[in-house]
């Protein structure tokens, strides 16, 4: 994404390259983004099933927070709802595939916990070699006054 200056707040224009295919057991972590001056924060997610044979593995999402960017320390990142660092939270938001190619799922991840930095994590904990997900996320928030 590119950030475009605006009179009141910067806006973001999608380039069309912000999509990542997820079909394995790895954690896919977004770049961290600053949230220090934001309130009413929400990540809106659109996940599309990419099917060739069967059903993709369940898709897990959670938000991680940190007081410092990952370039300073990776040890501070902790998941909302429990866990921390590479530990999955106690209750990730889970999307379940239908097995129908092109099925679109949407969800939102709001959070009120204050932290200077946040990042989105997506994972399919069960590997499915032939099927997966295409995921796009939009991060929103309101500037604190």
**What pLDDT, in 10s, does the model give residues 114-126?**
888 888 888 888 8
| Domains of the chain and CATH, by start | 20-143 (2.60.120.260)
Burial class (CB in 10 A: 0-12, 13-18, 19+), 101: exposed
Give the pTM: 0.78
Place of tokens 């309130």: 39
pLDDT band at 86 (very low <50, low <70, confident <90, very high): low
Look at residue 90 and tell me whether its pLDDT is greater than 90.
no
Residue 107 host element (H or E):
strand 104-111
Look at residue 3 and tell me whether its pLDDT is greater than 60.
no
CB 81 within 8 A of CB 93: no
Determine the pLDDT at residue 142: 84
CB 73 within 8 A of CB 117: no
pLDDT band at 1 (very low <50, low <70, confident <90, very high): very low
Look at residue 14 and tell me whether its pLDDT is greater than 60.
no
């Amino acid at each position: 994404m590119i950030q475009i200056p605006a009179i009141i707040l910067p806006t973001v224009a999608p380039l069309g390259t912000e999509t990542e295919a997820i079909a394995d057991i790895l954690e896919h972590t977004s770049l961290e983004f600053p949230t220090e001056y934001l309130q009413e924060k929400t990540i809106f997610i659109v996940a599309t099933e990419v099917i060739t044979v069967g059903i993709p593995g369940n898709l897990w999402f959670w938000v991680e927070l940190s007081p410092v960017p990952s370039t300073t320390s990776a040890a501070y990142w902790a998941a909302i709802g429990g866990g921390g660092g590479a530990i999955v939270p106690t209750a990730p938001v889970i999307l379940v595939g239908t097995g129908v190619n092109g099925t679109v799922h949407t969800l939102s991840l709001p959070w009120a916990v204050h932290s200077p930095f946040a990042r989105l994590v997506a994972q399919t904990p069960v590997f499915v070699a032939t099927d997966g997900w295409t995921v796009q996320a939009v991060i929103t928030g309101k500037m604190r006054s």
